[in-house]
Amino acid sequence: MKVTEAHRTTVSVVHGEIRGRILTGEIAPGAWLRQEDLAASLSVSRMPVREALALLAVEGLVEMLPHRGCRVPALSIDELEEVYAARMGLEALAARYASLRISADALEALRLRLPELAALCLGGDPQRYLSEDAQFMLDCYVYADRPRLVREVASLREKAGRYLRLVFEGVDHRLWLDYSYQLFQALAAHDPVAAESVAQEAMRWTLAQARLMLEDRLAPEPLAGK
């Protein structure tokens, strides 16, 4: 069967919609994904849903279980630690190179975005803030002039999305925002050591918070009467 451009567009839209629902928690970790239900909710046939789910499986956002179906993977401490170990190394490297290569014009453009980022952080729309914060960080790293590195960072940040929301809802938002300001200051100073340190410290802090919250969430329920 010839694949048309319209079909590719539909698959892309369906992929983006399901992906967004997973990352925002609208489709909860551990939930089973029924193609018929998704197709009905998105007003499409099952075919683009099937293809979109296959793409999401490659990204690690859904898992295909033989003879059982498709579901969103449960949150796990193992995945959390693996994602953050990789992020810590790659984002520190990206921050280091960006601090050495970023221009005055680029710094000014980033500086102008900080007040908007602060307003979103305190404005009660966590998903929009997390999206804008992720984009701000990636836009900082772009100036490392290492496109393959930035693509890897972007992919890992997407995988971390489910955990980031968990952390954001449980901590003082200003602490989160402060790391964005610290990274900008290190870039503005063209200080590679400070830039690398800020990126690593942000990862360590987020990992520690997420691990505590996840351990609490995954703890077994106490037995009745105990």
Domain boundary assignment for the chain:
5-71, 77-217
CATH class of 5-71: mainly alpha
Q: Quote the pTM value.
A: 0.80
Which long-range contacts link 115-123 to residues 24+ away (Cβ below 8 Å)?
Answer: 117/177, 117/180, 118/177, 121/173, 121/174, 121/176, 121/177, 122/173, 122/174
The DSSP code sequence of 60-102 is: TSSEEETTTEEEPPPP-HHHHHHHHHHHHHHHHHHHHHHHHH-
**At residue 171, does pLDDT exceed 80?**
no
Dump pLDDT digits (tens) for 49-59: 999 999 999 88
> pLDDT tens-digit profile of 108-147?
999 999 999 999 988 877 778 888 999 999 999 999 999 9
Average the pLDDT over 99-112 and give the result: 97
pLDDT for residue 178 is more than 50? yes
The fold for domain 77-217 equals: Four Helix Bundle (Hemerythrin (Met), subunit A) (1.20.120)
Q: In the prediction, which pLDDT does 105 show?
A: 97
Predicted local distance difference test score (pLDDT) of residue 139? 96
pLDDT of residue 198 exceeding 50, the answer is yes
**CA dihedral in degrees (158, 169, 203, 195; nearest 10)?**
100
Q: Is the pLDDT of residue 209 over 80?
A: yes
CB 99 within 8 A of CB 195: yes
Give the strand pairing for 69-71 and 63-65.
Answer: antiparallel
Stretch 38-43: mean pLDDT: 94
Residues 6+ apart with CB under 8 A from 164: 130, 206, 210
User: Which region among 2-6, 12-16, 212-216 has the lowest average model confidence (pLDDT)?
Assistant: 2-6
Which pLDDT belongs to residue 222? 54
d(CA 34, CA 71): 8
Report how far residue 200's alpha carbon sits from residue 194's, in angstroms, rounded to the nearest whole number.
Answer: 10
DSSP, collapsed to helix, strand or coil, labels residue 32 as strand
* pLDDT mean over 140-165: 91
> How are the residues of the chain apportioned to helix, strand and coil, as percentages rounded to the nearest 5?
75, 5, 20
The structure tokens listed for 6 are 């319209």
Q: How many CA atoms lie within 13 A of 176 on its CB side?
A: 28
Residue 117 to residue 123: CA distance in whole angstroms? 10
pLDDT band at 219 (very low <50, low <70, confident <90, very high): low
Q: What is the pLDDT of residue 226?
A: 45
